[in-house]
């Protein structure tokens, strides 16, 4: 029998449809089934199945790049890939698992984030006008977060995560910027509010769980905003100022004592995690549903028979 190969254009369309399907379904699986913060950093056996979709995506990406070395996936497909990357890091950040960056990758990630923050802070001081003497003194530095196996507790009493919110914050902002570029939407006040809570929760976690001292982590957490004169700059400045003021303890109140109260009453790490999951789910739903997802849900029907009968390929 003679060897037959698919038309390269048709094969690229088919492979793109498969990749789009894998990215969408893997992201949805993580959002639906990734467990909340754990009693220990080992991914439960019942949740190990969450690693399988990620491994499938990795394997298919290798095949995709081998088969189509010069292909340039569309911006929506790039966005789906980045969405899955962030969702995996964020939802599994409490666990040591396949999605946890290697020590070398983690060090590179931190260097990249530190360089970005330094460039921003060279032009802006998010702590300007706020009295952060409590952070300078770090009056409660001798207090160390209480470690416990009970996961339904405030952030101040949880095990140190594999990745902190401060580590994932730059990727969250990058994801939102990529989505805005694809969909042509400017950041809304609702999104800025979520970003502000994310920054505040990242700072709270850094001090209460990570044991940060001094104002450095606070400054890094709020080192975000558009360039001078850009649309939405005033809203960002307001979010930053309100967030920093919320984390400054009243006179006579210890730093960590105050941060524990903020975590309990105003910005809980668990609450922010749930809100971010909601944002990720909305972002997943915002794009066009992949062809194979529609086929999986609805069957081929007349629409499918028309596609196959015309000999057309799958598009993004």
Name the residue among 295, 268, 123 with its Cα closest to residue 208.
Answer: 268
Work out the average pLDDT over 206-225: 91
Residue 129 is given by DSSP the state T
Residue 227 near residue 120, CB atoms below 8 Å = no
Alpha-carbon Rg for the chain, nearest whole angstrom, is: 22
23 vs 140, higher pLDDT: 23
Residue 177 near residue 165, CB atoms below 8 Å = no
CA dihedral (33, 190, 78, 224) positive or negative: negative
pLDDT at 294: 76
Tokens of 294: 């529609």
Work out the average pLDDT over 66-89: 92
Residue 209 near residue 156, CB atoms below 8 Å = yes
What whole-number distance in Å separates Cα of residue 48 and Cα of residue 42? 10
What whole-number distance in Å separates Cα of residue 25 and Cα of residue 212? 37
Residue 84 near residue 26, CB atoms below 8 Å = yes
pLDDT at 279: 95
Name the residue among 100, 128, 145, 174 with its Cα closest to residue 260.
Answer: 145
State the pLDDT confidence band at 150, using cuts at 50, 70 and 90.
very low
What value does the mean pLDDT of the chain take? 80
Task: Work out the angle between the directed axes of helices 189-208 and 269-286 (0-180°, nearest 10).
Answer: 140
Name the residue among 193, 179, 22, 170 with its Cα closest to residue 90.
Answer: 170
pTM of the model: 0.82
What whole-number distance in Å separates Cα of residue 61 and Cα of residue 76? 16
What whole-number distance in Å separates Cα of residue 203 and Cα of residue 224? 13
What whole-number distance in Å separates Cα of residue 287 and Cα of residue 79? 9
Work out the average pLDDT over 279-299: 82
Mean pLDDT highest for which of 68-72, 136-140, 266-270?
266-270
CA dihedral (219, 221, 226, 232) positive or negative: negative
Is residue 188 predicted with pLDDT exceeding 60?
A: yes
Is residue 56 predicted with pLDDT exceeding 70?
A: yes
State the pLDDT confidence band at 292, using cuts at 50, 70 and 90.
confident
Mean pLDDT highest for which of 26-40, 52-66, 219-233?
52-66
Cα end-to-end distance, the chain, whole Å = 33
Instruction: Supply φ then ψ for residue 38, to 5 degrees.
Output: -100, 170
pLDDT at 154: 45
Tokens of 234: 């005033």
Task: Work out the angle between the directed axes of helices 75-91 and 8-33 (0-180°, nearest 10).
Answer: 30
State the pLDDT confidence band at 44, using cuts at 50, 70 and 90.
low
129 vs 170, higher pLDDT: 170
pLDDT at 26: 93
Is residue 306 predicted with pLDDT exceeding 60?
A: no
Please report, rounded to a whole number, the percentage of residues in the chain having pLDDT higher than 70: 77
Is residue 114 predicted with pLDDT exceeding 80?
A: yes
């Amino acid at each position: 029998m003679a060897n037959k190969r698919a038309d390269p254009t048709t094969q690229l369309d088919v492979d793109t449809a498969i990749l789009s399907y894998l990215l969408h379904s893997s992201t949805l699986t993580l959002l639906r089934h990734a467990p909340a913060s754990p009693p220990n950093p080992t991914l439960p056996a019942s949740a190990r199945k969450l690693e399988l979709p990620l491994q499938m995506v990795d394997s298919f990406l290798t095949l995709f790049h081998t088969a189509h070395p010069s292909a340039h996936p569309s911006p929506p497909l790039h966005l789906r890939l980045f969405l899955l990357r962030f969702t995996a890091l964020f939802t599994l950040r409490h666990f040591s698992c396949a999605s946890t960056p290697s020590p070398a990758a983690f060090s590179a990630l931190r260097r990249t984030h530190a360089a970005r923050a330094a460039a921003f802070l060279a032009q802006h001081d998010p702590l300007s006008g706020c009295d952060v003497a409590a952070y300078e003194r770090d009056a409660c530095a001798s207090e160390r977060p209480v470690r416990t196996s009970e996961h339904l507790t405030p952030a101040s009493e949880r095990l140190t995560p594999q990745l902190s919110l401060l580590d994932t914050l730059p990727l969250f902002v990058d994801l939102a910027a990529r989505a805005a570029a694809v969909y042509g939407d400017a950041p809304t006040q609702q999104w800025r509010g979520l970003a502000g809570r994310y920054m505040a929760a990242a700072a709270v976690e850094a001090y209460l769980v990570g044991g940060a001292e001094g104002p450095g982590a606070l400054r890094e957490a709020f080192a975000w905003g558009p360039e001078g004169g850009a649309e939405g700059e005033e809203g960002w400045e307001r979010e930053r100022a309100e967030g920093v003021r919320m984390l400054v303890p009243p006179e006579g109140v210890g730093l960590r004592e105050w941060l524990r109260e903020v975590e309990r009453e105003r910005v809980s790490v668990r609450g922010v995690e749930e809100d971010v999951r909601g944002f990720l789910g909305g972002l997943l739903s915002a794009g066009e549903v992949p062809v194979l997802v529609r086929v999986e849900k609805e069957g081929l029907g007349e629409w499918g028979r028309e596609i196959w009968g015309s000999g057309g390929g799958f598009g993004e």
